Amino acid sequence: MVSFLEKLVSASNEVLSYVLIVLLIGLGIYFTFKTNFVQFRLIGEMLRLLGNGVGASSQKLKGVSSFQAFCISTASRVGTGNLAGVAIAITVGGPGAIFWMWLIAVIGAASGFVESTLAQIYKVKGDKGYRGGPAYYMERALNQRWMGVLFAILITLCFGLVFNSVQANTIALAFETAYGVDRFNMGLVLAVITAFIIFGGIKRIAKVSQWMVPIMAGGYILIAVFVILKNFSAVPTVLMTIVSSAFGFKEAVGGGIGAALMMGMKRGLFSNEAGMGSVPNAAAAAEVSHPVKQGLIQSLGVFADTLLVCSATAFIILLSDAYTTEGLTGIELTQAALSSHIGSWATNAVAVMVFLFALSSVIGNYYYGETNIEFIKSSKVWLFVYRLAVVGMVLFGAMAEIKIVWDMADLFMSLMALTNLVAIALLGKIAHAALKDYIGQKKAGKDPVFHVSNIEGLKNVECWGKESTKTL
């Protein structure tokens, strides 16, 4: 029965992956041109907004600050997929997978801008702040509640349950390799910590993410910089290997290009989540004066995830000989590669990093499910049951076999992403109009402020009917 399920999931993943990649690339290119290359043209504005948001306090805000919303989404993005997922992509698709991972990030940043801007426009007021995301703009902008409910169910299953089992799976393997810790015991510890954080609600999640994300991501990038500087003479060779493996004649003959492309695209999407519909749930929670501000900040998050953190893992692995070793994959490959650079203590260092990365993703993923359960039905009982289920899946994931866990994650991710891509394809013009309004106000020397009347014919908008605050 298990074997049949694995084959069914694997076959479904293969079909959906091709459809998903075509849509991702097609829409990404379309949004890139439609927004006049927003992900490149306004990167300076993205950095300025993020910098201003760091110093902003959320104490007097109805929602969380723009920086906290960025950290919640980054907490989910920057997880074990950045360590284990990149290693799997290199193992299966070769070094060329990294090139395609970069490409999907560059193209996907435009889709990330569109979906997060839409989430801000159609967010709603909740008891403890703002809520929003694809389910909300599917109902309010498309008038298709059934579509919103479908998305809400998929993201709750995908992020809140399946993806969290992936995070727990990776951390349990890392600690088993580093310290010989029993996987059940490690899962139990992670489950208890998870319960403490998620039962504290969005404010506790935001506060934990705000300090955890910069420390873990920054620390990991510094380690990667040390490795790159130590092996600086080999960096050009690694870059040439990545590009040649993505397009080389040898790979074309052996089918390697296809494997590299598929693994790079899939792992890239899994990691940066652009177009998937997950990040908009965090983007909607922020209190800003104009929806485009958070759209730009979340677009920057795509680059931070893939071009910085994923690339850090890629260079750590490719600057070593570990990736040519038979049988090494996933987090064990990352640990082995780093050990070859900085010594045996690297295994312990990676285990600690994995713990932080996984924990941050678990709480970020949890929030995505919470806000979508609230969309389906606002009920304290259902929310309590969901929280228990999340804790249970963390424990289950720590003991599960890695292949079926990753395959299930890919399947739910694909279904969820397809639903969201259809929605943003239909609604992209609204985000484009918001961007035009934002740029127009900037050229007039103003700090952009949004009002529902700024876009002609905009309906079913709850939070922008009155003059917006000047909050970043």
E strand or H helix that includes residue 124: strand 124-126
Q: What is the mean pLDDT of residues 405-415?
A: 73
Could you read off the pLDDT of 122-150 as tens digits, one per residue? Answer: 999 877 778 899 999 999 999 999 999 99
- Segment among 55-69, 88-102, 208-222, 355-369 with least mean pLDDT: 55-69
More confident of the two residues 17 and 152: 152
Q: What secondary structure does DSSP assign to 49-70, as a single string?
A: HHHHHHT---TT-SSB-HHHHH
User: Mean pLDDT lowest for which of 117-121, 181-185, 319-323?
Assistant: 319-323
pLDDT band at 4 (very low <50, low <70, confident <90, very high): low
Q: Tell me what pLDDT residue 24 has.
A: 83
Tell me how far apart the alpha carbons of residues 416 and 153 are, in angstroms, rounded to a whole number: 9
pLDDT surpassing 90 at residue 293: yes
pLDDT tens string 187-239: 888 889 888 888 877 777 777 777 777 777 788 888 888 888 988 888 898 88
Residues of the chain with pLDDT > 90, as a percent, come to 21
Residue with tokens 């994300």: 213
134 contacts: CB under 8 Å, gap ≥ 6:
115, 119, 148, 151, 155, 277, 280, 281, 419, 420, 423, 424
Report the C-alpha gap between 312 and 3 in whole angstroms.
Answer: 35
pLDDT in the model for residue 266: 64
Per-residue pLDDT, 470 = 46
Is the pLDDT assigned to residue 261 strictly greater than 90? no
How many helices (DSSP H) and strands (DSSP E) are in the chain? Answer: 21, 2
Which CATH homologous superfamily contains domain 2-446? Amino acid/polyamine transporter I (1.20.1740.10)
Residue 329 has pLDDT above 90, yes or no: no
What per-residue confidence (pLDDT) applies to 249?
Answer: 46
pLDDT over 60 (residue 285): yes
Q: What is the pLDDT of residue 243?
A: 84
For 171-198, how does the pLDDT look when each residue is reduced to its tens digit (9 = 90+)? 787 778 777 878 888 888 888 988 888 8
Distance of alpha carbon 418 from alpha carbon 24, whole angstroms: 9
For the chain, give every domain's residue range.
Answer: 2-446
What is the Cα–Cα distance from 187 to 345, expressed in whole angstroms?
23
Residue 260 to residues 89, 92, 162, 410: CA-CA distances in angstroms? 8, 7, 25, 16
**pLDDT confidence of residue 31:** 95
* Residues near 27 by beta carbon (within 8 Å), at least 6 away in sequence: 111, 275, 421, 424, 425, 428
* Banded model confidence at residue 253, pLDDT cuts 50, 70, 90: very low
DSSP code, position 143: -
Average pLDDT over residues 280-302: 90
For 332-348, b/e burial (b = at least 16 CB within 10 A) is bbbbbbbbbbeeeebbb
State the chain's mean pLDDT as an integer.
81
pLDDT at position 259 is 58
Looking at the chain, the whole-number percentage of residues with pLDDT higher than 70 is 82
pLDDT tens profile 7-54? 666 667 677 777 887 888 889 999 999 999 999 999 889 988 887 766
User: pLDDT per residue over 300-313, tens digit each?
Assistant: 888 888 888 888 88
Distance CA 77, CA 302 (A): 8
- The string of pLDDT tens digits covering residues 351-382 is 777 777 778 788 888 888 888 998 998 888 88
Return the pLDDT at 252: 43
Quickly state the pLDDT bin for 471 (edges 50, 70, 90).
Answer: very low
| pLDDT value of position 248 | 59
**Angle in degrees, 0-180, between the axes of helices 291-303 and 402-443, rounded to the nearest 10:** 130
Residues 72-82 have a mean pLDDT of: 70
The Cα 364–Cα 230 span in angstroms is: 34
Under the banding of pLDDT at 50, 70 and 90, the label for residue 439 is very high
| Res 255: pLDDT | 47
Q: How far is CA 297 from CA 42, 47, 172, 365, in A?
A: 10, 8, 33, 19
Amino acid letter at 327? G
